[in-house]
Structure 1
Amino acid sequence: MKPALAQAASATDILLTDGVILLGVALIFVMLFRRLGLGAVLGYLIAGALVGPQGLGLVGDAQSKLAIAEIGIVLLLFLVGLELNPQRLWRLKRDIFALGLVQVTLCGAALTAIIYYSTQFSWGAAIALGLPLGLSSTAQVLPSLKSSGRINSPFGEKAFSILLFQDLSIVPLITIVAALSRNPADALGPPGWQLALYTVAAIAGLVLAGKFILNPLLKLAGRLGERELFIVVGLFTVLASAALMHSLHLSTALGAFVAGVMLADSPYRHEIESDVEPFRSILLGLFFLAVGMVLDVHAILASPLFIFTMAAALVATKVGIIFVLGRVFGMETKQAFALGLLLSQGGEFGFVLFTQAQHALLIAPQAASMFSAIVTISMATTPFLLLLARKLEFARPSNEEEPAGPDEAVQGSALVIGYGRFGQTVAQMLMGHGCGVTLIDRKPAQIEMSSQFNMKVYYGDGTRVDLLRRAGGEKVRIIAFCIDGNGLDTATLRQVTEAFPQAAIFVRAYDRQHLLRLGGMDIAGVVREVFESAISMGTQAMKALGLPDKEITEVVRRYRENDRQRLDAQDAAGTLHAAKDLMFRPGHSMRASDGGFEGESG
């Protein structure tokens, strides 16, 4: 075998072996910890530590895996950006730039002081270690908020605002470390003001690219109707924005977040979100596996008292400071304490900044290992603290109540799938009552036409459970399938009813056969698309013949009754030929067969 081929085969073998081991061990531990109610993150961390170089040594090269897995954080910020349009971000400006700034400053300063006065580190080293500890784990907190449905609540918005400012603060923190650097090579790096200009220019460039390149590209992919194209476009968007930021020595996650915000108002948002989500889940799991793998067990064993005491001090300090800030910014006592528990851990960006500090000759490699272990241990405490918060019912403010009924319907109380001539009428009637309706259609031309009437219609295949979940299917009261044709089958509907048991499901049936196929489903209602309109025309036609209203009413009543009986018989017999005798035929009118109407001679 040639050397190049042998090297490629060896790399493939390593990749496959490492992948099988990592996924297998992760599967066992995540299932175990989920069963124990401790969350998936702790399972990933322990699984990574077990199979990593410091554990059983079954998988190596932890740093490279960590670098790859950080794309999971990038994808996470992109998906969060998709849920926050620019108007909503502007509404959160106080929490982002006031609460976020004060949190990063106070927590960083307090932890710097603790490190300086409790160790032999210099002020420069204490600053380089303490400021990064003021950041929290975006990769750990945001998935928890999203899975609990709290990301859009006032509580979730405050947590997200702090995390977003923490991500923005990466640039000034890197600048501070560079300013304190003892490494002559760092003098060649870009100054802080230049990094700030790079940040502004990169964000502006991403905004323009989203408007003039990305949206037309998505529109073209929608016209072609290929789901794979949306996956490619979504991943390209994330990676391109992250690559741009990385080339400018800026936060890759910030670039992905900006790209997501630019698409938050796009009609293609839900489709992209559904297609990118599986990649995010896998890579974020790999990230926590890699964090567990890089955990320096020897550093912990060398100074266990110091590391566990410092981890406890980190958690306690952040809980206390964030609690006070929460109260100052108008949160209830329980909510402020819950916010402190949620953001009490160290963050993944700490690993990056510790590496920067080591490169700047501010700390030794041993110190970087110890404080990386402190961050990892603090991450491991989060699932337990979240359990405490939920047990004490801190996760939901007392003044937040679920709407009592349809008369109090809130935004997003109904999903209408298919916004053609049928769906438009259904949606208009719901909106007329004040219901919040999310509209989904997979025809780009329909979406473009609807936008001319100021109707926001999202692109996507509304029969996909993952897309419905992204569109808020777990919270709505009504899901109305107004799709043309008879492609909606019982298997799809069964998945929808199982996934969203709280929602009343309504279906537009194409014809009698389609109606019969859906007859056994546990759904709120099925409507044949032309049944009522045909009865309406028949009624008008009889009026044009001069028939009395009483006769017309009786014909309609008997027709409906016969139709219902025929459907029951056809469903029982499994054939359309059942109960044919109940059909009206020429020469067999109600006058002839039933002895005439009351008052008529027959």
Structure 2
Amino acid sequence: MATEVTEAAHAAESVAQHAGGADFTAVAILLAAAVIAVPLFRRIGLGSVLGYLAAGLAIGPSGFGFFDDPQSVIHVAELGVVLFLFIIGLEMQPSRLWAMRGEIFGLGLMQVGLAMATLVWVGILLGYPTSASFVAGAGFVLTSTAIVMQILDERGELAQPKGRRMVAILLFEDLAIVPLLALVAFLAPGGEEATLADRFISVGIGIAAIVTLVLIGRYLLDPMFRILARFGAREVMTAAALLVVLGAALLMQAGGMSMAMGAFLAGVLLSESSFRHQLEADVEPFRGLLLGLFFLGVGMALDLNVIAANWDIVLISVLAYMLLKMLVIYLVARFTHASRSEAIERAIMMAQGGEFAFVLYSTATQFGILTPEWNATLTAIIIVSMVLTPFMIMLLDRVMPKGAVSMDGVEVAHDLEASVLLIGFGRVGQIVSQPLLARGHSISLIDSDPEVIREAENFGFKVWYGDGSRLDILHAAGAAKASLIVVAIDNKEATTKIVELVKEEFPLVPVIVRAFDREHALELTALNVDYQMRETLMSSFEIGREALLRLGEDPEDADDLIKDMQSRDADRFALECVSGLQAGVTMLIGNKDIKNHP
């Protein structure tokens, strides 16, 4: 929260400097708006995006009127989207991006193509010309990269498969802005005659820009950063990082493409560089402050007068565009075998229009396809859809349980029989199973995460779906007939519940348990588990031993020291167990002096 307020302060300075002077009044206003709105909206669970939008609306022309030109703020703040795409590119090695080609050009093309074909009819049905309807619908297809990326980042879903698929679609939409702008020139009144040659020239310029960027990234960037790292200061490295991002963005813009696409490509080209983490650290603060400023600018640009004058058109268009776009996204997601929950989440998260629509509508207005009034109305429609998105996400989280995942390809445990029942097949359970399987012991594997089960199947393991904290599942998994039960899940409370149930219902079956920490280990020992091990204990001792060796200690002395520390830890643990037992007995019989008796 404090970080976001700091970002707003820096963003305010950027606006003031862009305006040509150190207007500290503007700085104070932007800072005050962020200080009040962002923490408040995060506190009530509405998220920082909606907080920035509300703050921008309050200080913009439709609010208190502190700012008269929101577009200038958005123009500066679009660099936040550019820097965000650069950081995403740093995480996308070329091999990984190549692996995503099917999602980018398959899933992306399918969603954009079908959504565009559907949304164009909204304008036609409302009585607008075909060319204007095409531009309006095409603009709404372009989802807000800033909003979706920010929400994915806040929800921790950027690295997940469903997040990666949304990123792939956003990348295709960034690519789509190029042919869309060419089509705007073609659809312009009298534009058909001169556009064929112009389009070939535009495509050639775009390809040349991409090739130039790839060559620079392949042969010049890494050597440049090596030289700077050797002779330059820290601030020079930061300046070089910003130069790379902005240079790539401007090169792509000169080639007729989006600045965000240029920054993304620059990030991809540097993703395998040894300076990748340094670049990410240098760019991250600027990305955060400018992205916050972008949302403030969007809030400022929401013209309530335009909405009031055209409220019927705005209302119908927002509902029609968002509902139809959500329907298309959902159907495409289900057609490409996404789970129902993922399809719904993708449809709601990508239902709004995006910042690239402003560019498309502005260009169409310059070419005479849209009137200034239509442009203002369409811009209002886009902004309203962007404002509604955080509310829709909040509603989604309340209506749909977070644990709702696809059960496709997952079988529930039933009538299992094996010498070992292993509950939890994550990073610990997989390692535990290896020596048991190597010695020929039969194992029944159960887990409550369908993704883990499907992934294990790819490696030849049959894992059954089952919640080990349920007695019926334990019976179905063969707990009563097992010679050993191993609990290896990574949930502290669930582990304790499973142990309590197992010890009560199957007291003769030995139980080995993965403990979360020392406190949890004591709790499990009190439940009479046959063996428990803190998940980080032995690895920590081994890392400590290796650290001693790297520092020049004699191996035998290091071994003796680690053994001594293990022994002392075991003694302390045993003493804590006895103390805990005595405390429990004291509570039961009320004898305050029992601690004096062994």
TM-score scaled to structure 2, two decimals?
Answer: 0.67
C-alpha distance in 1 between matches for 2:108 and 2:147: 18
Describe how 1:297-336 pairs up with structure 2 within 5 A.
Answer: 297-336=304-343
Q: Is residue 141–residue 325 contact of structure 2 (8 Å, CA) maintained in 1?
A: yes
Rounded to whole Å, the distance in 1 between the matches of 2:339 and 2:18 is 59
Distance 1:399 1:150, change over 3 A: farther
* Counterpart for residue 82 of structure 1: 90
> Retained in 2: the 8 A contact 1:134–1:318?
yes
How far residue 300 of structure 1 moved from its aligned partner, in angstroms, is 0.4
The within-5 A match list for 1:229-378 is 229-378=236-385
Residue 196 (1) aligns with residue 215 (2): no
8 Å CA contact retained: 2:348, 2:389: yes
Q: Report the counterpart of residue 72 of structure 2 in structure 1.
A: 64
State the match for 1:383 in structure 2. 390
**What is residue 589 of structure 1 aligned with on the other side?**
none
Q: Unaligned stretches of 5+ in structure 2?
A: 1-15, 411-423, 432-489, 491-533, 573-598
In 1, the alpha carbon distance for the partners of 2:274 and 2:537 equals: 23
- Aligned equivalents of 1:141 and 1:558: distance in 2? 49
Q: Which amino acid aligns with 1:107?
A: A
Residue 277 of structure 1 and its aligned partner are, at CA, apart by 1.0
SS in 1 for 2:273: coil
CA distance change for structure 1 residues 506 and 526 in 2, over 3 Å: closer, same or farther? farther
Equivalent residue, structure 2, for 1:529: 548
Q: Amino acid of the residue matched to residue 168 of structure 1? A: L
Residue number in structure 1 paired with 2:158: 151
Taking structure 1 as reference, are residues 107 and 538 closer, same or farther at Cα in structure 2, changes over 3 Å only?
closer
Contact 2:206 2:256 survives alignment (8 Å): no
Residues 200, 73 of structure 1: alpha-carbon distance in 2 compared, 3 angstrom cutoff: same
Cα deviation for residue 395 of structure 1 reads 7.9
Q: 1:172 to 1:191 in 2, by over 3 A?
A: same
Does the residue aligned with 2:346 lie in a helix, a strand or coil? helix
Q: Do 1:52 and 1:292's aligned partners in 2 also have CA atoms closer than 8 Å? A: yes
Instruction: Classify 1:399/1:224 alpha carbon distance in 2 versus 1 (closer, same or farther; 3 Å).
Output: farther
Task: Report whether the alignment pairs 1:404 with 2:412.
Answer: no
Cα 1:531/1:382, change in 2 over 3 Å: closer
The aligned residue for residue 515 of structure 1 is none
Residues 228 and 368 (structure 1 numbering): CA distance in 2 closer, same or farther, change over 3 Å? Answer: same
**Residue 21 of structure 1 pairs with residue 23 of structure 2:** no
Alpha-carbon distance change, 213 to 557 in structure 1, aligned in 2, over 3 angstroms: closer
Could you tell me how far apart the structure 2 residues matched to 1:62 and 1:185 are? 34
Contact 2:186–2:192 under 8 Å retained in 1? no
Letter in 1 for 2:135: A
Of 70, 92, 96 in structure 1, the residue corresponding to residue 104 of structure 2 is 96
Aligned residue number for residue 114 of structure 2: 106
CA 282–10 in structure 1, closer or farther in 2 if over 3 Å, else same: closer
Separation in 1, partners of 2:20, 2:36: 26
Question: Within 1, Cα distance between the matches of 2:310 and 2:180?
Answer: 27
Partner secondary structure for residue 369 of structure 2: coil
**Shift of the alpha carbon at 1:10?**
9.3
User: Could you tell me how far apart the structure 2 residues matched to 1:225 and 1:532 are?
Assistant: 31
2:135 is aligned with 1:116:
no
Q: CA offsets, 1:514-564, max 9 Å, x none?
A: xxxxxxxxx99687635996443679xxxxxxxxxxxxx9xx689968x99
SS in 1 for 2:67: coil
Structure 1 Cα separation of the partners of residues 346 and 65 of structure 2: 37
Residues 504 and 230 from structure 1, CA distance in 2 versus in 1: closer, same or farther, beyond 3 angstroms?
A: farther
Query: 2:210 & 2:236 partners in 1: Cα distance?
Result: 25
Query: CA, structure 1 residues 212+395, in 2 after alignment: closer, same or farther (shift >3 Å)?
Result: farther
**Residues in 1 aligned to 2:290 and 2:19: alpha-carbon distance in whole angstroms:** 23
Between the aligned residues of both structures, percent identity stands at 35
1:54 and 1:89 map into 2 onto residues whose CA distance is 43
Q: Which residue in the other structure is 1:423 paired with?
A: none
Establish whether residue 12 from structure 1 lines up as the match of residue 31 from structure 2: no
In 1, Cα distance between equivalents of 2:84 and 2:557: 56
Superimposed CA distance per residue, residues 151-209 of structure 1 (whole angstroms, 9 cap, x where no aligned partner): 12211111111100000000011011111112779958972232222222212211111
1:59 offset after TM fit, Å? 1.8
- Do 1:335 and 1:394's aligned partners in 2 also have CA atoms closer than 8 Å? no
| Counterpart residue type for residue 64 of structure 2 | L
Contact 1:358 1:364 in 2 (8 A): yes
Kept in 1: contact 2:341–2:406 (CA 8 A): no
Contact 2:549 2:555 in 1 (8 A): no
Q: Give CA deviations for 1:293-351 in whole Å, capped at 9, x if unaligned.
A: 12222110102122122112121111110000001111111211111111101011111
C-alpha contact (below 8 Å) 1:507/1:526 kept by paired residues: no
Q: How does 1:415-434 map to 2 (within 5 A)?
A: none
* 1:4 paired residue number: none
- Name 2:445's counterpart in structure 1: none
Q: Deviations over 1:387-426 (max 9, x none)?
A: 23333136874469996343548xxxxxxxxxxxxxxxxx
SS in 2 for 1:366: helix
Is residue 60–residue 66 contact of structure 2 (8 Å, CA) maintained in 1? yes
Tell me what 1:445 maps to: none
Q: Work out the CA distance in 1 between the residues paired with 2:403 and 2:269.
A: 30
- Distance, in Å, in 2 between the alignment partners of 1:240 and 1:99 is 30
User: How many angstroms apart in 1 are the aligned matches of 2:136 and 2:220?
Assistant: 41
Is the contact between residue 506 and residue 526 of structure 1 (CA under 8 Å) also seen in structure 2? Answer: no
Q: Which residue of 1 aligns with 2:145?
A: 138
Q: Distance in 2 between matches of 1:216 and 1:179?
A: 43
Distance 1:399 1:505, change over 3 A: farther
* Whole-angstrom CA distance in 1 between matches of 2:18 and 2:129: 49
Report if aligned partners of 2:186, 2:195 keep a CA contact under 8 Å in 1: no
What amino acid is the match of 1:68?
V
Match of 2:530 in 1: none
- The offset of 1:246, in angstroms, is 2.0
Task: Please give the root-mean-square deviation of Cα atoms over the aligned residues, in Å.
Answer: 3.6
Please list the CA deviations of residues 343-381 of structure 1 after superposition, one character each: whole Å capped at 9, or x if unmatched: 101011111111011111111111111111111111111
More helix by share: 2
**Residues 529, 276 of structure 1: CA spacing in aligned structure 2 closer, same or farther, 3 A cutoff?**
same
Alpha-carbon separation, structure 1, partners of 2:28 and 2:555: 63
The change in CA–CA distance for 1:188 and 1:94 in structure 2 (over 3 A counts) is: closer
Question: Does the Cα contact within 8 Å between 1:171 and 1:195 map onto a contact in 2?
Answer: no
1:58 partner amino acid: F
Letter in 2 for 1:372: T
Within 5 A, what are the aligned runs for 1:474-489?
Answer: none
AA aligned opposite 2:113: T
SS at structure 2 position matched to 1:215: helix
Provide closer, same or farther for how the CA distance between residues 534 and 47 of structure 1 changes in structure 2, counting only shifts above 3 A: closer
